[in-house]
Amino acid sequence: MERDFLPSPFRSKGGIMKRFEYEITKHPADTFNQVVYFCSETGECSINEVPGDQTEILADTLNERGNQGWELVQISFGKDGVMAFWKRKVKKKEK
């Protein structure tokens, strides 16, 4: 008896493993010139005193990529800008 050890979240309905592609994008700090992102010593992170237009710029970036089929996996803020990690399902290859 053959057993399938792959957990169900990684399989499609037909039992075939889902395939993804990944992309990392960089967004320079001057794009988000007024975003203040702070992490305390305990690891709590927050965005403070962010003007509305800055959150709109970030939302526009997220929505643009989302409309292309990309899902945000993680976003990292640093002094030089923002790095975003994306994934999307690989379309089935036609034979």
The H or E element spanning position 32 is: none
Give the pairing type, strands 20-28 and 81-89: antiparallel
Q: Which residue has the higher pLDDT, 14 or 25?
A: 25
pLDDT digits (tens, 9 = 90+) for 26-54: 988 777 655 555 556 676 666 665 666 77
pLDDT at 16: 73
| Residues 71/65, Cβ–Cβ less than 8 Å | no
Q: Is the pLDDT of residue 1 over 50?
A: no
Please provide residue 12's backbone torsions phi and psi, each rounded to the nearest 5 degrees: -80, 180
Q: Note the pLDDT of residue 55.
A: 76
What's this model's pTM, rounded to 2 decimal places?
0.62
